[in-house]
Amino acid sequence: MKTLIIAEAGVNHNGDLDMALQLCKAAKEAGADIVKFQTFRTENILTKDATLAPYQAENIGVSKSQFAMIKELELDFSSFKRIKEYCDKIGIQFLSTPDDEDSLDFLVDELGMKTIKIGSGEISNIPFLRKIGIKRLPIILSTGMATLGEIERAVYELEHVGSGDITLMHCTSSYPCPFNEVNLRAMHTISEAFGYKVGYSDHTQGIIVPIAAVALGAVAIEKHFTLDKKLPGPDHLASIEPNELRLMIESIRNIEVALGDGKKRPSQSEKATKEAVRRSIVAACPIKKGTIFSYDNITTKRTGQKGLPSEMWDYVIGRLASRDFSEDEPICL
């Protein structure tokens, strides 16, 4: 099964439409299925005195309010129309996380977005979840910072108003996320608890963890990327650059092939190796016709699969040689 790869541009456009379009192009060239942004009206999502998250304060390296920082990263609806048109032109799926009801209605009703991504911060936002569920579209729900109980409540609210196609994304909302807090096995816990498809939204540095998540069964991978990690902004440091994104996607596609169908059987490429390394029963010394085959006069060696295979050892022991055999000659009955 092909893993859905979401290249998370997020707010790494720094409020610049041209940079947003460049991110779309980079995601397409890297082989991503989807390029995802975040759509919001700053006034609708936080108060003017809301404090920065610790990672935001550390990553931007300046003292400002969360409101001021977010406002600088906001793109207007007309910009997202341009982004959607460009994605359609170059052949990559556009997706954006709505962070408020106005943005939700715009993305779904005006841009025709067919899937809704819910960020981890909204998993406990009950009225907003109900508004999303009413749209009755496939949903990708990130579960960062959440307990199983909170995931259960969110799923209930979405299902209660009509949602039935939900992909739950295991996530650790730390930027960057330390490896000892990733807890990839939680994907299995989430899957067993709710019966929905489970993916992984990654905030670690590098590309190792999302590749491992695919090996563990993730049906979707979301990964932040940027044109340049050195750009100013809260998420660039926890993102990967286009060449890393390309390598991650190539590696995931290789893992998908390597996972196979689960049936244990010799592969096509093993057949020649099997002929070369599997042992056959041979004479350990010259054997005269009528001699009883025993541990003293036969052994197993590689012959290119000439003679009787070594698994017939017990069948051969105790039988009579039908003719003379020279040393190392494959035994036949």
**pLDDT, tens only, 155-200:** 999 999 999 999 999 999 999 999 999 999 999 999 999 999 999 9
pLDDT over 90 percentage in the chain: 91
What is the band of 54 on the pLDDT scale with cuts at 50, 70, 90? Answer: confident
Cα gap 67→52, rounded to integer Å:
8
Domains of the chain and any CATH numbers: 4-259 (3.20.20.70), 266-333 (3.90.1210.10)
Q: Look up residue 205 and give its DSSP letter.
A: S
What is the helix, strand, coil percentage profile of the chain, to 5?
40, 20, 40
Q: Look up residue 117 and give its DSSP letter.
A: E
Cα gap 12→298, rounded to integer Å:
72
Q: Please determine, for residue 83, whether its predicted confidence score (pLDDT) is greater than 70.
A: yes
Residue 155, SS3 per DSSP: helix
Indicate the average pLDDT of the chain. 96
Q: Which residue has the tokens 């977010």?
A: 70
Residues 6 or more apart from 80 whose CB is under 8 A from it? 37, 39, 96, 106, 107, 111
Residue 225, SS3 per DSSP: strand
What pLDDT, on a 0 to 100 scale, did the predictor assign at position 262? 95
Cα gap 228→230, rounded to integer Å:
5
| pTM for this predicted structure | 0.90
Cα gap 287→189, rounded to integer Å:
63
Cα gap 315→155, rounded to integer Å:
62
Kindly report the number of other CB atoms within 10 A of residue 246's CB atom: 19
Handedness of CA 92, 93, 96, 102 (dihedral sign): positive
What pLDDT, in 10s, does the model give residues 86-119?
A: 999 999 999 999 999 999 999 999 999 999 999 9
Cα gap 72→40, rounded to integer Å:
12
Q: Which residue has the tokens 């793109």?
A: 75
Cα gap 281→301, rounded to integer Å:
7
Q: Please determine, for residue 59, whether its predicted confidence score (pLDDT) is greater than 80.
A: no
Instruction: Answer yes or no: are the C-beta atoms of 289 and 321 closer than 8 Å.
Output: yes
Closest by CA to 53, choosing from 38, 70, 37, 39, is: 70
Q: Please determine, for residue 147, whether its predicted confidence score (pLDDT) is greater than 90.
A: yes
Higher pLDDT, 43 or 53: 43
Q: What is the C-alpha radius of gyration for the chain, rounded to an integer number of angstroms?
A: 30
Partner residues linked to 118 by β-bridges: 141
What pLDDT, on a 0 to 100 scale, did the predictor assign at position 61? 63
Supply 156's token pair. Answer: 């209930």
Closest by CA to 194, choosing from 131, 139, 272, 270, is: 139
Which class for 185: exposed (0-12), middle (13-18), buried (19 or more C-beta within 10 A)? exposed
Closest by CA to 66, choosing from 147, 145, 11, 128, is: 11
Q: Please determine, for residue 231, whether its predicted confidence score (pLDDT) is greater than 70.
A: yes
What pLDDT, in 10s, does the model give residues 272-317?
A: 999 999 999 999 999 999 999 999 999 999 999 999 999 999 999 9
Mean of pLDDT values over 214-224: 98
Q: Which residue has the tokens 């496939």?
A: 138
Partner residues linked to 142 by β-bridges: 169
Q: Please determine, for residue 44, whether its predicted confidence score (pLDDT) is greater than 90.
A: yes
What is the band of 56 on the pLDDT scale with cuts at 50, 70, 90? Answer: confident
What pLDDT, on a 0 to 100 scale, did the predictor assign at position 62? 60
